[in-house]
C-alpha cells in the first residue's frame, strides 16, 4: 500500500517520541512491502523559531495533501509569553479546524501488566479498564469568540465563548453512538446542562439522535460528577462523549488510570476517516531532551493510524501486541517504573518494541 504521511515532530519530547515511532513505521513498511512517503514538517514552537509562525503554509498544505498526519506535541515555556494566535498550540488547533478533524477518539486501556501503575485501589480495576472518550474537537469554547478588553483605567477583562451548533453536536454524537454499538452498547454523554445553554442544546440533540439508536443505553452526567465517578469506579463507563474542553480534561484524567499519560494515544478524524494521530500528552518540558519520555502513546497513535485511516489492522495489531508484550516482560520508562521492573530510556523502549515486533 502506498501512503503519504505528514510527520510533525513539534517541540519538547515530541521529536524524541516521534523518532521511535518512525523506526516502527519503517520496519512495517519493509516487512509488508508498503510505501510510506513520509514528509517531515515544522509546526509549533520550532516553526516560530525558524519561520516566524506556528503553522507555515507549506506545513498546512502538506497536511492537506497527506493521507494521514502524525503529530508529536507542540508548545513549551519558551513561547508562553506569546499572544493566542501566535502561540505554538495554534498550529494544532488550526490543523484540526482546517482539516475538519472534529472527532477525537481517546481510548484509555489498562494493559494487564500496568495494574501496579494505576493509582486506584486494585479492587476497582480487577477486570482491567477499557474506556473510549469521544471528544468534540473543532467547536465549543476552543473556537468561540474570544477577546481581551482594556478599559480606560488600564484594567482588563477577557472572555471566551462556548458555542455549539446542533449540527456540530449531531455529527460527533453519531460517531459516539456508532462506536458504542460496536462495544457494550452503553453511552454516557457528559455536559453541564444544569448551568450552560450550549450544554442544554447538547443534551437535547443527543436525546433526539438516540431515537436512531434504540439499542444503545444512553445516560447523561454533569462534568463535575463524571470527573469524580471516573475515579470512584471507572468501570461503570464504556464510551463517553463530550465537548471539546470537558473531553480534554476527562481524557487526561482517564489516562492516569491506565498508569501514565505517556500511554494514551488519540485519533482526530474527519467524516471520511482521514486523521491526525497524536498522543494526548504535551511536550513535557520538564523531561524534554533527557531521553526519558515514554514513546508508547505516540507509537500506539501510529497503530490507530493504521487501523482507522489505512484499514491495515494486521499492522496495528502487531504494534499493539508488541507494546503489550514489552510491558508484560517488565520493561518500563521512568513514568511507569516500579520495583522489580526494568527502567528504559525513550530510545531503548523504542528498540524493545521494534525487537519484539521482529520476533513476532
Ligand atoms: P504535558 O502533557 O506536556 O505534561 C504533563 C506531565 O506529564 C509532565 O510532568 C510530563 O513530564 C508528563 N508527561 C507527558 N507526556 C509524557 C510522556 N510521554 N512520558 C512521560 N511523561 C510524560 O502537559 P503540560 O505540562 O500541561 O504542557 C506542556 C506543553 O505542552 C504546553 O505548552 C502545552 O500547551 C503543550 N501541550 C501540547 C499538546 C499537543 O501538542 N498535543 C498536548 C498537551 C499539551
Ligand atoms: C490536547 C492538548 C491541546 C488541546 C492543546 C495543546 C491545544 O491539550 O491535545 O489535549 O487542548 O486540545
Ligand atoms: Mn489536553
- CATH number of the domain that 230 lies in? 3.40.718.10
Distance of CA 258 to the CA centre of its chain: 14
| Closest protein CA for atom 12 of ligand 2 | 248
4 CA to centre of ligand 2 in angstroms? 25
Q: What percent of the chain has pLDDT over 90?
A: 99
Give domain status of residue 272, yes or no. Answer: yes
Catalytic residues: 142, 192, 224, 248, 252
For 239-277, write each residue's pLDDT tens digit.
Answer: 999 999 999 999 999 999 999 999 999 999 999 999 999
Domain end marker among 240, 257, 274: 257
Answer whether 0.95 is exceeded by the pTM.
Answer: yes
Same domain, residue pair 217 and 275: no
Query: Which residues are near ligand 1 (CB < 6 Å)?
Result: 13, 17, 73-76, 89, 92, 261-262, 278, 281-287, 293-294, 297, 335
Rounded distance from Cα 279 to ligand 3 centre (Å): 9
Report how far residue 248's alpha carbon sits from residue 96's, in angstroms, rounded to the nearest whole number.
14
pLDDT band at 180 (very low <50, low <70, confident <90, very high): very high
Q: Looking at the domain assignment, is residue 114 inside a domain?
A: no
ipTM above 0.95, yes or no: yes
User: Which residue's CA lies nearest to atom 5 of ligand 2?
Assistant: 89
Element (H, E) at 47: helix 45-51
Structural domains in the chain (count): 2
| Residue with CA nearest ligand 2 atom 9 | 280
- Please indicate, yes or no, if residue 72 is contained in any of the structural domains: yes
Say if residue 253 is in the same domain as residue 279: no
- Give the C-alpha separation, 191 to 210, whole Å: 16
The three cell numbers locating residue 63: 497536511
Domain boundary among the residues 197, 225, 257 is at: 257
Annotated binding site: 76-89, 96, 106, 135, 224, 248, 252, 282-294
Looking at the fold, whether 176 and 295 belong to one and the same domain comes out as: no
Amino acid at each position: 500500500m502506498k501512503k503519504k504521511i505528514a510527520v510533525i515532530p513539534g517541540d519538547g519530547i515530541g521529536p524524541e517520541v516521534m523518532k521511535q515511532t518512525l523506526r516502527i513505521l519503517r520496519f512495517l513498511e519493509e516487512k509488508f512491502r508498503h510505501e510510506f512517503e513520509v514528509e517531515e514538517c515544522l509546526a509549533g514552537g520550532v516553526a516560530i523559531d525558524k519561520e516566524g509562525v506556528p503553522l507555515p503554509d507549506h506545513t498546512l498544505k502538506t497536511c492537506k495533501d497527506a493521507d494521514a498526519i502524525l503529530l508529536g506535541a507542540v508548545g513549551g515555556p519558551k513561547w508562553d509569553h506569546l499572544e493566542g494566535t501566535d502561540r505554538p498550540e495554534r498550529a494544532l488547533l488550526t490543523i484540526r479546524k482546517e482539516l475538519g478533524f472534529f472527532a477525537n477518539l481517546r481510548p484509555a486501556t489498562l494493559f494487564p501488566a500496568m495494574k501496579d501503575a494505576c493509582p486506584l485501589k486494585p479492587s476497582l480495576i480487577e477486570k482491567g479498564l477499557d474506556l473510549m472518550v469521544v471528544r468534540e474537537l473543532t467547536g465549543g469554547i476552543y473556537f468561540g469568540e474570544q477577546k481581551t478588553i482594556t478599559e480606560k483605567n488600564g484594567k482588563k477583562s477577557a472572555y471566551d465563548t462556548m458555542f455549539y451548533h446542533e449540527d456540530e453536536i449531531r455529527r460527533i454524537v453519531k460517531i459516539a453512538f456508532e462506536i458504542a454499538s460496536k462495544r457494550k452498547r452503553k453511552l454516557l454523554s457528559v455536559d453541564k446542562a444544569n448551568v450552560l445553554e450550549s450544554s442544554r442544546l447538547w443534551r437535547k440533540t443527543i436525546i433526539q439522535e438516540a431515537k436512531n439508536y434504540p439499542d444503545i443505553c444512553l445516560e447523561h452526567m454533569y462534568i463535575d460528577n463524571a470527573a469524580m465517578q471516573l475515579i470512584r469506579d471507572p468501570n461503570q463507563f464504556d464510551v463517553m462523549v463530550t465537548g471539546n474542553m470537558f473531553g480534554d480534561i476527562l481524557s487526561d484524567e482517564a489516562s492516569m488510570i491506565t498508569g501514565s499519560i505517556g500511554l494514551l494515544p488519540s485519533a482526530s478524524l474527519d467524516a471520511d476517516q482521514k486523521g491526525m494521530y497524536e498522543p494526548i500528552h504535551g511536550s513535557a518540558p520538564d523531561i524534554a531532551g533527557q531521553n526519558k519520555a515514554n514513546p508508547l502513546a505516540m507509537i500506539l497513535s501510529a497503530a490507530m493510524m493504521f487501523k482507522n485511516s489505512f484499514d491495515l489492522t494486521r499492522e496495528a495489531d502487531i504494534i499493539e501486541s508488541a507494546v503489550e508484550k514489552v510491558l508484560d516482560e517488565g520493561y518500563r520508562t521512568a513514568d511507569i517504573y516500579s520495583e522489580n521492573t526494568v527502567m528504559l530510556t525513550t530510545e531503548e523502549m523504542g528498540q524493545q518494541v521494534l525487537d519484539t515486533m521482529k520476533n513476532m
